[in-house]
Amino acid sequence: MSSKMQTLMFLLVLTISSFTVKASPSDAGIAIYWGQNLGDGSLSSTCNTGNYKIVLLAFLNVFGAGRTPIWNFAGHCGDWSPCTKLEPEINYCQQKGIKVLLSLGGAIGPYSLSSPNDAKVVGDYLYTNFLSGQFGPLGSVTLDGIDFDIEGGSNLYWDDLARHLNNIRQQNRYFYLSAAPQCFMPDYYLDKAIKTGLFDYVFVQFYNNPPCQYNIATSDATLLLQSWNAWTSLVLPNNTVFLGLPASPNAAPSGGYIPPVDLLTKVLPFIKHTPNYGGVMLWDRFNDVGNNYSNQIKVYLIKSALQFVTQVSEAIAASVSTALNALLPN
């Protein structure tokens, strides 16, 4: 090969490499809980920030065991202002490519499942009212999935609900299932359900859990990183794990807040290369608004930024060495 051709190939490699600088849809991002404080701002404005790839509507907090389901979106809507008004905003977010999931549970119930059959009844209710496009409490929406943020009631039959929803999505249209366990393992409420392997996303709550969260007093991430490794190994290879964090110190009374600079230097470099790293989950939009957290961290979460730099450096090194070999006399 002539050295001219080598140089040409070198340029070609550089050109091809430079086209890979864009985040793929599967790349890391931020999932945010929305709906528990009027200070969240509207759902549309939340999606307009461009900061989030998943929005979790919080919460459907009364259901199961024959209860009439009740959704609680704090001051956003309720009996005084029907939640069907969210329909255009949900559509707006989805048009922007943001996945909108309904979150079940939260800190305040009551909710529980009384039997495997009750899990089926609840699963069918969720599909018909939120996932099928038929008219329901949020209007005629087709949400992207269901999140299990189970923190109370009973720990029974959540695996049955996951399996039933999985049957429904296999028979109809695929939708996502996610779970938001506490970092302390095994999670009392969700362990059995998570071990079904059916949750596309696992938003592990590394807050209000001193045995497995970031220690802000000593700037020590040891317990958090140990827990991260345990969680990501548990749900390999199919389930993506998000680092669940409070968006401000106030969001988690028992701690776990990680100042942006500590996140960038002490945590992200160690978790980003886990094959099933998905990004960061934040509690919640209200705290994110007040603390400007997602704006400060979003550019650092993407996996491919570093992968790209590595690929380009390798491509350049290979081309330079080939070009030099061609130029040097034997």
Active site residues: 151
CB of 149 to ligand NAG, least distance (A): 22
Q: Which of residues 3-42 bind ligand NAG (CB under 6 A)?
A: none
Does residue 295 interact with ligand NAG by CB under 6 A? yes
Decide: 55 and 102 in contact? Cβ < 8 Å: no
Binding range to ligand NAG, per CB under 6 A, among 87-95, 122-130, 261-269, 290-298: 290-298
Does residue 296 interact with ligand NAG by CB under 6 A? yes
Q: Which is nearer to ligand NAG, 140 or 233 (CB)?
A: 233
Residue nearest ligand NAG (C-beta atom) = 197
Q: Which is nearer to ligand NAG, 81 or 238 (CB)?
A: 238
CB of 194 to ligand NAG, least distance (A): 11
- Residue partners of 162: CB distance under 8 A and separation at least 6: 148, 177, 193, 196, 198, 199
Q: Which is nearer to ligand NAG, 135 or 174 (CB)?
A: 174
The contact pattern for ligand NAG, residues 187-206, with x = CB under 6 A and - = no contact, is ----------x---------
Binding range to ligand NAG, per CB under 6 A, among 11-19, 55-63, 211-219, 291-299: 291-299
Does residue 238 interact with ligand NAG by CB under 6 A? yes
Does residue 88 interact with ligand NAG by CB under 6 A? no
Does residue 292 interact with ligand NAG by CB under 6 A? yes
Q: Which is nearer to ligand NAG, 83 or 282 (CB)?
A: 282
Binding range to ligand NAG, per CB under 6 A, among 8-16, 101-109, 288-296, 303-311: 288-296
Count interface residues toward ligand NAG (CB under 6 A): 5
Return the bridge partners of 147, or none. 103, 178
CB of 315 to ligand NAG, least distance (A): 31
Residues that bind ligand NAG (CB under 6 A): 197, 238, 292, 295-296
